[in-house]
């Protein structure tokens, strides 16, 4: 029985602005993807990392991981492999899932765009699945008040903030649950996370405490924060 970490990294990063695919943008001089893969590959609970790279960038990502000694296994570092991603995040994850070895029974899915994820969070999600949960997601309390709006911007409802969680990755799954959820999903209405597909099957998803440092780099301001967090870690 093995735990694999799937890393969707095939997005363009449109909200971050023009430039290279988001996963290859630099953070502390190193592509975000390298930070994310290193965090997963060195986490105690992870045995294998599978990256879904931009379709035209598979060779480049293989070379990048090799350059950072993340392709082959070494003491304390799990090996990585690279597959071609797809048009949507869901499609990218699905392509990585079909490439997993038979021995894998727990799958973590972690966005390349969350480069500073602490190893403690990775291992906590793995442990919750190993302890018997079918699906586990990290969540943090929401700071802003969240309102539902209609197409014209009119407020439809103000949600009860106390009952909301902002959901992060890694999300952890029993492999069979995640593959069933992907098989049952509608490719024309892709989900923004994997737990959403599992929920659609009627399977219970457990929320465990997330970590502020597992935030997603989405907009330019997030890169400013990520650089600051990294600098603080290195100090
Ligand atoms: N992703 C992917 N394949 C896609 C789209 C997204 O593997 N076709 C990955 C991204 O690389 C990222 C993660 O899914 O690591 C989360 O997606 P998001 O933050 O939306 O990244 P992008 O899609 O790259 O950004 P944007 O939506 O701003 O274009
Ligand atoms: Mg996107």
The answer, yes or no, to whether any atom of ligand 1 lies below 6 A from the CB of 193, is no
Question: What is the full per-residue pLDDT of the chain (235 aa) written as tens digits?
Answer: 999 999 999 999 999 999 999 999 999 999 999 999 999 999 999 999 999 999 999 999 999 999 999 999 999 999 999 999 999 999 999 999 999 999 999 999 999 999 999 999 999 999 999 999 999 999 999 999 999 999 999 999 999 999 999 999 999 999 999 999 999 998 888 889 999 999 999 999 999 999 999 999 999 999 999 999 999 999 9
Q: Which residue's CA is the closest to the ligand 1 atom numbered 13?
A: 111
Q: Tell me, what's the pLDDT at 10?
A: 98
Residue identified by tokens 């959820």 is 181
How many Cα atoms occupy the beta-carbon half-sphere of 215 within 13 Å? 17
Going along the chain from its start, the domains and CATH numbers come out as: 2-234 (3.90.550.10)
Q: Tell me, what's the pLDDT at 188?
A: 86
Residue identified by tokens 């931009």 is 54
Q: Give SS3 for 109.
A: strand
Q: What is the DSSP letter of 185?
A: S
Distance 226 CA to ligand 2 centre (A): 18
Q: Tell me, what's the pLDDT at 189?
A: 87
Atom of ligand 1 nearest to the CA of 16: 28
The answer, yes or no, to whether any atom of ligand 1 lies below 6 A from the CB of 20, is no
Atom of ligand 1 nearest to the CA of 8: 7
The answer, yes or no, to whether any atom of ligand 1 lies below 6 A from the CB of 170, is no
Q: Tell me, what's the pLDDT at 215?
A: 98
The answer, yes or no, to whether any atom of ligand 1 lies below 6 A from the CB of 190, is no
Q: Tell me, what's the pLDDT at 187?
A: 81
The 10 Å CB-count burial string (b at 16+, else e) for 27-44 is bbeebbbbbbbbbbbebe
Distance of alpha carbon 91 from its chain centroid, rounded? 14
Distance of alpha carbon 66 from its chain centroid, rounded? 21
Q: Give SS3 for 153.
A: coil
Q: Tell me, what's the pLDDT at 152?
A: 97
pLDDT digits (tens, 9 = 90+) for 182-192: 999 988 888 89
Q: Among 36, 37, 56, 89, which is best to mutate for testing ligand 1, by the most ligand atoms less than 8 A from CB? A: 89
Cβ neighbours of 83 (radius 10 Å): 20
Distance from C-alpha of 171 to C-alpha of 197, rounded to nearest angstrom: 12
Atom of ligand 1 nearest to the CA of 9: 11
């Amino acid at each position: 029985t093995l735990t694999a970490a799937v890393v969707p990294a095939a997005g363009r990063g449109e909200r971050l602005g023009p430039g290279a695919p988001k996963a290859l943008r630099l953070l502390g001089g190193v592509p975000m993807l390298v930070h994310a893969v290193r965090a997963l590959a060195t986490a105690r609970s992870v045995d294998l990392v599978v990256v879904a790279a931009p379709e035209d960038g598979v060779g480049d990502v293989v070379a990048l991981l090799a350059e950072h000694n993340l392709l082959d296994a070494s003491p304390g570092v799990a090996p990585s492999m690279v597959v071609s991603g797809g048009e949507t995040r869901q499609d990218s994850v699905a392509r990585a899932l079909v490439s997993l070895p038979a021995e894998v029974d727990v799958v973590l899915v972690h966005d390349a765009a969350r480069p500073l994820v602490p190893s403690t969070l990775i291992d906590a999600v793995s442990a919750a699945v190993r302890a018997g949960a079918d699906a586990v997601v990290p969540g943090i309390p929401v700071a802003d008040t969240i309102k539902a709006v209609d197409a014209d911007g009119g407020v439809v409802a103000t949600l009860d903030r106390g009952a909301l969680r902002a959901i992060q990755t890694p999300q952890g799954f029993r492999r069979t649950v995640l593959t069933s959820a992907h098989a049952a999903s509608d490719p024309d209405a892709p989900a923004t996370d994997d737990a959403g597909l599992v929920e659609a099957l009627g399977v219970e998803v457990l929320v465990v405490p997330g970590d502020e440092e597992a935030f997603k780099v989405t907009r330019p301001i997030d890169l400013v924060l990520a650089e600051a967090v990294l600098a603080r870690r290195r100090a």
